[in-house]
Amino acid sequence: MKNDVAHPLVKLARNAVECFVNGRRIPRPVEYTPEMRERAGVFVTIRKHGELRGCIGTFEPTQPDVAEEVINNAVSSATRDPRFPPVSVDELPDLTYSVDVLSTPVPVENKEQLDPKMHGIIVECRGLRGLLLPDIQGVDTVEKQIDICRQKAGIYPDEPVKLYQFEVKRYH
């Protein structure tokens, strides 16, 4: 079964969603792995039959540790992604999860420093920010990454932007 081989952060995300959707209290992990104790931004991606079903996360840490970040973002991915209706009980068996733990974003002088397979990016302008994780299917160029981030943030194509890069540890 998927749950038996999944990384503990992925098991935590799945458990949080299943408990929340079933109206049960979400238990905290009994044993914290080293990754759970860190502080970092985290994205939780939910897929159904290989198709995106929800993806929400935090650019930077908002919780005391990664475990809490995963729990909050897993529930948000399942219930608050504006692109999708909330996950139903009937869907739970068909869902797969991945968890991305973000490194601290660092400013980038020029886009030649970026690699869309290795680096996620944040685009910033007028206090607006758009983020795209690295290694996204169909996103093979830095220009495409930047365009998607601009669209997400509501930044016009001709506006100058600040770029930041980060890396992720992706868990399945």
| Model pLDDT, residue 1 | 39
Does the domain formed by 106-167 have CATH 3.40.605.10?
no
pTM to 2 decimal places: 0.93
Give the tens place of pLDDT for each residue, 5-45.
Answer: 899 999 999 999 999 999 999 999 989 999 999 999 999 99
Report the amino acid identity of residue 145: Q
| Model pLDDT, residue 19 | 98
Beta carbons within 8 Å of 13's beta carbon, 6+ residues apart: 44, 70, 71, 73, 74, 97, 99
Strand partners, 123: 130, 163
The structural architecture, per CATH, of the domain 2-102 is 2-Layer Sandwich (3.30)
Mean pLDDT, range 104-119, rounded to an integer: 95
Give the tens place of pLDDT for each residue, 132-167.
Answer: 999 999 999 999 999 999 999 999 999 999 999 999
Mean pLDDT, range 59-69, rounded to an integer: 97
| Model pLDDT, residue 5 | 83
Q: Which DSSP letter does residue 40 get?
A: -
| Model pLDDT, residue 4 | 60
Q: How far is CA 29 from the centre of its chain?
A: 20
Give the tens place of pLDDT for each residue, 116-131.
Answer: 999 999 999 999 999 9
Mean pLDDT, range 63-68, rounded to an integer: 98
Residues of the chain with CATH 3.30.700.20: 2-102
pLDDT surpassing 50 at residue 3: no
Phi, psi of 70 (to 5 degrees): -65, -45
Residues of the chain with CATH 3.30.1490.150: 106-167
Give the tens place of pLDDT for each residue, 74-89.
Answer: 999 999 999 999 999 9
